[in-house]
Amino acid sequence: MSETPLLATDALSRHFRLGGLFSSRTLHAVDDVDLQIGEREIVALVGESGSGKSTMARLLALLYRPTTGKILFRGKDVAAIRSRADLRRYRAQVPMVFQDPYSSINPVYRVSHGVLRALALHRPSLTRAERMAEAERVFETVGLTPARDMLRKFPYEMSGGQRQRVGFAQALAVNPSLILADEPVSMLDVSIRAGILNLMLDLRDRIGVSILFITHDIASARYVADRIAVMYAGHLVETGPTEEVLANPRHPYSQLLVSAVPDPHSPIDVDVSAAAGEPPRVIDPAEGCRFMPRCPLAIEICGRVTPRLTPMGPDHAAACHVAAQQVAAGAAV
Amino acid sequence: MGNQIALGSGQAIAVAEQPLQGWRDARRRLTQAIVRSRKAMLGLLLIAFVVVLSLFPGLIAPGDPHAAIYDPNLGSVAGHPFGTTQIGEDVFTQLVYGTRLTLIITVVVGLLTTILSVIVGLTAAYLGGAADRVLSLLTDVFLIIPTLPLLIVLSAYLSGSGTIAIIGVLTVTGWAFGARQLRAQGLSMRTRDFLEAARARGEGSTYIILMEILPNMLSLVVATFLSSAVYTVATAAGLQFLGLGNSNDITWGTMLHYAQQNGALWSGNALWALAPGGAVALLGAAFALLNYAFDELTNPALRPVRRRLLASTTGGSRLDGARPDPAHG
Amino acid sequence: MAEPLLTVRGLSVAYLAESADVVAVDAVDLDVADGEFLAIVGESGCGKSTLLFAIAGLLSPPAQVIAGEIRFRGTDMARLDDAALRHLRWRDFSVVLQSAMNALNPMKSIEAQFGDAMRAHLSGSGASKAAIHARTAEVLRLVGIDPVHASSYPHQLSGGMRQRAMIAMALLFTPQLVIMDEPSSALDVVAQRSLMRQVKDLQQSLGFAVVFVTHDMSLVRSYSDRLMVMYAGQLAELAPTESCFERPLHPYSRGLLDAFPSIRGPRVPLFGIPGSPPDLAHPPAGCRFAPRCPRVMDRCLTTEPDVFEVGASQVRCLLYDGLGTGAGVAKPAGVAS
C-alpha cells in the first residue's frame, strides 16, 4: 500500500496474566499482529473463538491497552494516547458495534439514549434540537424508519435485527472513519442477517466508512469483505483480497477452514477427519508455529521458528514456512 | 432451572412479561402489582396510616403528650384507651405524637444507609481491582463488628446528643450489608455489553455507575431501603429502650424505656409498654410486607403459585408451577 | 410398510401464562422410521426445541402438552408415568442437549458418570464395575475418544471432546433413537463438521435413528435423510433433504436457503426475509408466514393452510391447494404413509 492506511497495527500484542498475584503465567491472546485497514474498505477478521479476534476489536477500540506494539491511526500511534480529549477524539473516529443485540443496549432507556449521549459527548456544539435531528438522520440511514417513532421505542419493543441497527446508528452518529463490528450478525437469525450485511455494504458505499468485520463465519465474510485476515491462536496467519484467499488459501489452517464451511448451495462433502484437535489456549508459548500440532504439512522448521507473514502474491500474505518455501521455489500450488 | 430446560436452545420464546422497561412502564406495573398483592396493600396502608399520624397527630389525639395532668397509672379506661403513665400523661396521646420522630429516624437512616451502600457497593463492583479490594475490606470490617456493643459504646460516648447520635450510629452500623448485596449484583452486571458499549462511547466511570448501572438496579436499591427501614425501626427503639438517646424526646422507644423503668408490665399498667412495643412491631411489619411484595414484583419466581386445571388427551394432568422467568424478547 | 419408530400426531405444546397461553407447537405430525436421520430446522421461536423436549418427555411447567400423541414403537409416551418413562429413557431413546458440554458433572470422572447412568438403568452383573469399565471404553472409542480419558474430569477435556463424551453417554445402551438439540452450536466450524461426520458414521454402523434440531440448515445437508422446516410453531415443509435444498416448496424454506451466503460460486445479493415471526400469544388469522411472504395471495391472509402432499414432500402452503398458482396434489395430508 503506497498511501498511509487508515489504521495499521505494528507488532500488536496483548497478554493477560493468569492466576493470582504471584503467578507468572501469561495468556497470549494477541501476538505480534500487523493488520492494515484502508479507506472505504471492509476488512473481515476471521477466526474461531479463542483466536484473539475479539481481543483485537477491544484493542483497536482502546478498551484494552496493548501489552506491546503500536496502533497507528492515520499514521499516529493512538495506543500512546494519555489525554482524555485525544482519547475522546479517537473514540469518535473509531466506534464499536457489539455482538449481542440483547445486552448491548441499556434496557431502562429508550433506544435514542445511546445516540444522544454519543452526540453529546463527541459533538458538543450541537443544540438539543440539532441532536435530535442528527439522531433521526442516522436512524434513517440504518433503515429504522419512521425515525421519529423508532427513536421513542424501548429496546424490548424491537427485534434483534432492529437493535443491531441501533448499534450501527450509534456508531454513525459520531461521523466515524472506521467502525469496529464485533460479530454483529452472529446472534441474529439467519433470515435477518442479510439485512445487516447489506447495511454494512451500503454504509461503505454511501457514507464511505471503513468497517472491520469480525466473525467466525467465512461465508458472510466473503459476502461483505474486500479483504480478509485469518487469525489463529493469537497470530495473523493469512491476509489478502477475499476472493483470492478463499480461492487459493495458502495457510493450512485457512485451507481447513475453507473446506469445512458448509455451503447449502453446493453439496460437496469434504473429508475433515485429518483435522483432529482444536485451537490451543496460548499460555506461555514457545517459539514455533502454533498450528503445527494439527498441520498435515508440518516440517522441521515449523517447530523451531515462528513463521511470519510472507508475501504469496500481490497483496496476499501467509505465515507458513511450507507455503513460503513453495513460493521461493517458484512452485505452483 | 426447569424453565430453562423447557425453553430450550437459548432463544426463549417471549412468553412472560418483559423486564422493567422505562419509567412510565415501571410505575404502571408497580401500581398494578401493588393493587393486586394483598401484602403490598396491607403494608402500604399501614405506612400511610403511620405517615398521616406523624403529620397530623392532633387529628387523632387532641391533647398534649407532655401534659402530666391525669391520674397516674391508670389501665385502660374511658378517655384513656391505653392508660396513663407513672406521672399522669396519656399513653395514647404519647403514642400518636411519638410517631413523628420514630418515622423520621427510620426514613433518614434508611436513606443514608442506602446512599452509602450504593456508593460503596457499585463503585467496588465497577472499578474492580485494588479499589474493589479496599472497599470490600471496609465493608467486611463493618459487617463483622458486633453491632450491639458498638452501638452501646458509641451511644454512651454520644449520650446527650440524642436523635442525631442515634441516626449516626445506626447509619454507620447499618450500611455494610446493603453494600455487599449491591456489589454482588453490580458484579453480575459487568457482563452486560451495554456497559462496555458505554465505555467505548467515551463515558466516564461516574456517569456509568450513576446513569447506566444504577437505573438497572433500582429494585435492589428499593429493597435495601426497605430492609434498612425494618432494621432501623426495631434497633432505634431498642437503643432508646436502653436509655441511650434523648430521654426528653417522645418516641416509641423512649416510651418503652420509661415503661420499663416504672415496671409497667407488673403494675397493672401493661399497655404502657405493650402499646409502643406493638407499634414498633407493626411498623416493622409494614416495611417487611412491602419488601416481600417488592421482591415478588421483581422476581416472578417468588409469586404465589396459581393453579390451573387443564384437560388434555393425556388424562387431565394438573399443572402446578411457578410463573416463568422474564425472558428477553 | 414397517411401523415407524416414532409417531407424532397433532402434537400441540403450550406455555401457560396468566395473560395468554402461548402455543409454541401447533398440531405437528411427524414420523421417524428406524435408522432415519431427520433434521428439524428453524429460527428462534419456531418451536423446534419445544417440540424436541416434548418428544423426549422433558417439558416442565409452564410448558405442557395440550393435544396430540407421541408414540414410540406404538406406546403412547404421554400416558406413561415417570417410572415407565424412565425405563424407556436412555435404553430405547436418549437425548443430547445443546448445553451438553456443561451438562457433565464437573465433580465426577467420565467413567463415574457413565457408571451412574448404567447403574440407573441396568441391574446385577450388567452394572458391575468391570462391565461399566468395559462399556465406557467401548463407547468412548466409538466416538473417537481415547479410552484413557475415561478417568478424566470434564474440565480436562476440550469442548469438542466433551460434546463427544455426551454423545458416547447417549449411546451407552445402543438406543434406537437419539435426539439431539443443536449439539454443535458452541463448537467451531471444523469441529462441527467433524462431529456431524462422526454422528453419521455411528448412525450407519449402529443403525439408530436421529432427530437433529438446528437453526443452521447448511449443517445437515449431506447428513440428513429428511428435513423438517418449522415456522411459528407449525410444520412449514417436510421433505427429503435433497428436495428441500434443490427445490424448496415453501416460500419460507426458499427464503431461508437464499439467506445463506455462499462461499463457492458467484457472489449474489442476499435478501433474507425482512420482518419477524408472529407473536404466538396472538397468532394471526390465515397463514402465519403471509406478512413476510414474497408470494402471498389474497386468501393467505384469511385461510389457514392445511398441510398438502406434493410428491414425497409435505408443505403447509396455499400455493399447493390446487386452487391457484402452484402445482401439486390438492389432498390434505392425513396419516403419513
- Assign B241 to helix, strand or coil: helix
Q: Across the interface, which of B9, B312, B321 has its CB nearest the CB of C61?
A: B321
A-contacting residues in C 275-314 (Cβ below 8 Å) = 276
Residue A245: predicted pLDDT: 92
Question: C27: which 3 cell numbers?
Answer: 398440531
Q: Across the interface, which of C45, C59, C98 has its CB nearest the CB of B13?
A: C45
Residue C59: predicted pLDDT: 83
Residue B160: predicted pLDDT: 61
- Assign A145 to helix, strand or coil: coil
Question: Could you report the predicted ipTM of this complex, rounded to two decimals?
Answer: 0.85
Residue B112: predicted pLDDT: 95
pLDDT for B303 beyond 70: no
Phi/psi at A216 (5° precision): -105, 0
Do residues C284 and C292 lie in contact, with contact meaning Cβ atoms separated by under 8 Å? no
The predicted model scores a pTM of 0.81
Distance of CA A74 to the CA centre of its chain: 18
Q: Which residues of chain A have pLDDT under 70?
A: 1-2, 20-21, 265-277, 331-333
Residue B16: predicted pLDDT: 35
- Assign C50 to helix, strand or coil: helix
Q: Which of A3-12, B11-20, B216-225 has the lowest average pLDDT?
A: B11-20
B-chain residue closest to A61, CA distance: B200
What is the rounded distance in angstroms from the CA atom of residue A159 to the CA atom of residue A147?
16
Q: Does A22 touch chain B (CB under 8 A)?
A: no
B189: DSSP letter: G
Tell the residue number behind the cell numbers 435530535, with chain if given. A132
Q: Across the interface, which of B6, B15, B310 has its CB nearest the CB of C66?
A: B310
pLDDT for B322 beyond 70: no
Q: Does B203 touch chain A (CB under 8 A)?
A: yes
| Distance from the B36 Cα atom to the nearest Cα atom in chain C, whole angstroms | 13
What is the rounded distance in angstroms from the CA atom of residue A286 to the CA atom of residue B172?
54
E strands in A154-260: 178-182, 210-215, 227-232, 235-241
Residue C326: predicted pLDDT: 47
Look up residue C131 and give its amino acid: A
Position B7 confidence tier, pLDDT thresholds 50, 70, 90: very low
A-chain residue closest to B11, CA distance: A187
Residue B308 with chain C: CB contacts under 8 Å: 16
**What would the pLDDT profile of A8-50 be if each residue is shown by its tens digit?**
999 999 998 887 667 778 889 999 999 999 999 999 999 887 7
Do residues B97 and B250 lie in contact, with contact meaning Cβ atoms separated by under 8 Å? yes
Pairing of the two strands C234-240 and C226-231: antiparallel
| Distance from the A260 Cα atom to the nearest Cα atom in chain C, whole angstroms | 6
What is the rounded distance in angstroms from the CA atom of residue C126 to the CA atom of residue C212?
30
Angle (CA) A301-A302-A304 rounded to 5° is: 65
Angle (CA) A20-A26-A30 rounded to 5° is: 135
What is the rounded distance in angstroms from the CA atom of residue A170 to the CA atom of residue A166?
6
Q: Which of C21, C53, C64, C181 to mutate to test the interface with B (most CBs of B within 10 A)?
A: C64
Q: What is the 3-state secondary structure (H, E, C) of C148-198?
A: HHHHCCHHHCCHHHHHHHHHHHHCCCCCCEEEEECCCCCCCHHHHHHHHHH
Pairing of the two strands A227-232 and A42-46: parallel
pLDDT for C131 beyond 90: no
Look up residue C234 and give its amino acid: Q
What is the rounded distance in angstroms from the CA atom of residue B148 to the CA atom of residue C145?
61
- Assign A273 to helix, strand or coil: coil
B-contacting residues in A 163-222 (Cβ below 8 Å) = 167, 170
Q: What is the largest CA-CA distance in chain C?
A: 68
| Distance from the B33 Cα atom to the nearest Cα atom in chain C, whole angstroms | 14
| Distance from the A83 Cα atom to the nearest Cα atom in chain C, whole angstroms | 40
- CB contact under 8 Å between A264 and C245, yes or no, is yes
**What would the pLDDT profile of B71-119 be if each residue is shown by its tens digit?**
777 777 777 778 777 777 888 888 888 888 889 999 999 999 999 999 9
Do residues C12 and C67 lie in contact, with contact meaning Cβ atoms separated by under 8 Å? yes
Tell the residue number behind the cell numbers 429428511, with chain if given. C226
Question: C334: which 3 cell numbers?
Answer: 392425513
Q: Does B10 touch chain C (CB under 8 A)?
A: yes
Look up residue B42 and give its amino acid: L
Q: Which of A289-293, B161-165, B216-220, B240-244 has the lowest average pLDDT?
A: B161-165
Residue B325 with chain C: CB contacts under 8 Å: none
Residue A263: predicted pLDDT: 73
